[in-house]
Amino acid sequence: MSISGLLIVISGPSGAGKGTLCNLIKKEFPSIYYSTSATTRSPRQGERHGVDYLFMPKEEFLNLKENNGLLEWAEVYGNFYGTPRSLVEENIAAGKDVILEIDIQGALHIKKQYPEGVFIFIVPPSIGELKRRIESRGQNSPEDISRRLKSVHTELAYVSEYDYVIVNDKIETAIAKLKSIINAEKCRPQRRKINFD
């Protein structure tokens, strides 16, 4: 019996806690391949190339895009982000589960290519909490914070495109829900190839 690799796509507004949840889920499921997105933005304090993002110049990113090297790409807040194609496809083909933490534009593009994927939207408990989280990073200008908060209502309009929604109020509860979703999806009969010959 073999199990197909599971593609898990996680999206949500900036400050919803996607990164925190993904870091915790990596500890719970160490065999999952966590896709590292490429970006043209500058690293934030403490971020590492090849771990948090593949930081690259705009020219290099555009070259990768034009040579079909990205599953999806988007321009977000003036920077380019994208998902390198090769490692995602190789891991899924090998039966490994893959997590993509990407923006809504990218998730909708991926859904067209992988409708069998599991699409999970993370939301904060309130706009006030979202603002507190973004401000507590200490890495965003007041203009950037304002722009991110204004985009929340637009982003929430796409919730119905996702399979699941997790309200990230308490991290312990949110991670328990995410684990439950992954475990349940891995048990779906459509994901297993049962053959006893």
pLDDT for res 151:
76
Q: What is the pLDDT of residue 173?
A: 96
Question: Is residue 121 within 8 Å of residue 165, measured between CB atoms?
Answer: yes
Q: What is the pLDDT of residue 138?
A: 65
Return the pLDDT at 58: 96
Low-confidence ranges of the chain (pLDDT < 70): 1-3, 130, 133-135, 137-140, 145, 149, 191-197
Looking up residue 184, the CATH number of its domain turns out to be 3.40.50.300
User: Count of domains in the chain?
Assistant: 1
Which residue range is the domain that position 178 belongs to?
2-193
pLDDT at 194: 59
Type of residue found at 31? S
Q: Beta partners for 3?
A: 192
* Residue-wise pLDDT tens digits, 120-136: 999 988 777 767 766 67
Residue 64 is predicted with a pLDDT of: 95
CA distance readout (Å), 89 to 41, 98, 182: 25, 9, 19
CA dist list (Å): 182 to 23, 26, 108, 110, 179: 15, 12, 20, 18, 5
Cβ(104)–Cβ(11) below 8 Å:
yes
| Residue 119 CB-density burial (10 A; 0-12 exposed, 13-18 middle, 19+ buried) | buried
pLDDT at 197: 55
- Mean model confidence pLDDT for the chain: 87
160, two tokens: 């119905």
- Locate 105 and state its tokens: 């534009």
pTM: 0.82
